[in-house]
Amino acid sequence: MPGYDRSCIEFSRPFYPAPLYAGDVIGAVGSWKRKHPHVIDAALAAVVFVYNLPVQGAYVPGGLPASTGVLVSIGLCAPYVVRRDFPLATFGATIAAFAVQLTLGMGFLPADVMLVFALYNVAVCCQRRVSIAAAGAVALCVLLVAAGWGSELFLTVIDLVTALVLIVSVWLWGSTIGIRRAYVASLQERAVQLEKERDSQARIATAKERARIAREIHDIVSHSLSVVVVLAEGAALSVRSDPDRAEQQLKIVEGTGRSALAEMRRMLDVLRDGEPGSHAPQPGVAQLEKLVADARASGSPVEFAVHGTPQELPAGTDLAVYRIVQEALTNTRKHAGPDVTRVDVQLCFSDQDLEVRVRDDGRGPAADDASGGGHGLVGMRERVAAYGGALRTWPRADGGFEVVATLPLGRTA
């Protein structure tokens, strides 16, 4: 149609409000009550006061002003407004107003029900001995009324028993509610405490995992780079005089670098679930022969021996043995000096434990490293302690340095 602007058409559909359920109404009311508790208390006190106002004059003895009943009613109802913040003070003010009422010779007022409410509030909020004392005070007031103290009103035996039963019932009800609230509060506090402990344990586990990863990366990088540096220096010196030897050393450099990259990739892949390589096998005792062979190729005179009957080791212990030997050889390469003539690597199996011993006849580490200040020795000590073992390191009397790690096996593991 000419001149017809389709963009001006508005398509609409009827609006159907969401159905309102009784549970929603009750929930909304309950939420409002929790947010405005003092309004609820003030409303209850106002309702009692207004109900009591037309009839209070009939209970005022002759000779007293007509406003006496109003003032007593205010004294009974007004304290209830702050009963959540000051439960004991509210009860004290209410019972004081009731005592004034008895002293003036007034009979029971409808507003006297506030004394029962105040007793219930004390039973809920205060300790047991305090609530018992409050119930006893109310019972004493009832007994005074029964005895005709300060007024002409005498209670019959049935009225007296009924009042005392009411006091005990209100106290029991309030005490039960108070115990339940205290129990729920303790459960909530316990839940918060458990959540804090869970978070603390998670932080501790994270710190341990970071320390473990740091140890692994240190061992991998430190050992591999030291081998690569030594071999690269040798290849650079012999590239013209002995090309074949230089080529062999460069191939070893390549293999060491690839091996280090593979281990680093495996180490980092475990941090990413589902990544390829996260389940790649870790090095262990079976790879010590290759580790020793690489050390020999780099120029270290390493001898490897196994004593006793080899046992199948748990994965963690197996990796720990490999890392201990790897770090010890790295330290030997760094600190033993050029005069080292022999490096012994020994595994001694027994029924109770496995002893890993690495010693050399070089010059040994500096004094601060020998005392355990180096990161490598600290990492070895933490790794051994994680499996319940012990690590000893010391400079040998005839020169060189020795590392002995003892790891429990079998029942002691």
CATH number of domain containing 368:
3.30.565.10
Look at residue 191 and tell me if it is in a domain. no
Residue that finishes a domain, picked among 155, 180, 196: 155
The residue with greater pLDDT, 46 or 295, is 46
Among 137, 155, 173, the domain-final residue is: 155
pLDDT digit string (tens) for 349-400?
998 899 999 999 887 765 555 444 456 677 788 878 878 889 999 888 888 8
The residue with greater pLDDT, 103 or 229, is 103
In a domain, 338, yes or no: yes
Tokens of 174: 């309030």
Of 151, 79, 85, nearest to 115 (Cα)? 79
Residue 385 belongs to what domain range? 300-413
| 195 or 208, higher pLDDT | 195
| pLDDT confidence bin for 9, thresholds 50/70/90 | very low
Task: Compute the average pLDDT of residues 11-19.
Answer: 49
Beta strands at 302-307 and 343-349: parallel, antiparallel or unpaired? parallel
* 58 half-sphere exposure, CB direction, 13 A CA radius: 7
Per-residue pLDDT band for 223 (boundaries 50, 70, 90) equals: low
Mean pLDDT for the stretch of residues 59-75:
81
> Does residue 346 form part of some domain?
yes
pLDDT at 281 > cutoff 60 = yes
Number of domains observed in the structure of the chain: 2
Counting Cα atoms < 13 Å in the Cβ hemisphere of 362 gives 25
In a domain, 3, yes or no: no
pLDDT for position 410: 63
Decide which of 97, 125, 155 is a domain's last residue.
Answer: 155
pLDDT value at residue 278: 45
b/e per residue, 116-136, with b = 16+ CB within 10 A?
bbbbbbbbbbbeeeebeebbe
Inside any domain, residue 267: no
Give the mean pLDDT of the chain: 79
The answer to the question of residue 345 being in a domain is: yes
pLDDT digits (tens, 9 = 90+) for 168-183: 999 999 999 999 988 9
The answer to whether 140 and 115 have CB atoms below 8 angstroms apart is no
**For a pLDDT cut of 70, what percent of the chain falls above it?**
77
**Regarding predicted confidence, which is higher, 263 or 395?**
395
Q: Does a structural domain hold residue 243?
A: no
What confidence tens digit (pLDDT) does each residue in 307-327 have? 988 888 887 788 889 888 988
Is 262 domain-assigned? no
From the CB of residue 276, how many other CB atoms can be counted at a distance below 10 Å? Answer: 9
Tokens 């690489």 belong to residue: 294
| Number of Cα atoms under 13 Å in the Cβ half of residue 5 | 3
Tokens of 386: 């994680």
The C-alpha torsion from 167 through 170 and 174 to 176, rounded to 10°, is 100
C-alpha closest to that of 123 among 136, 134, 112: 134
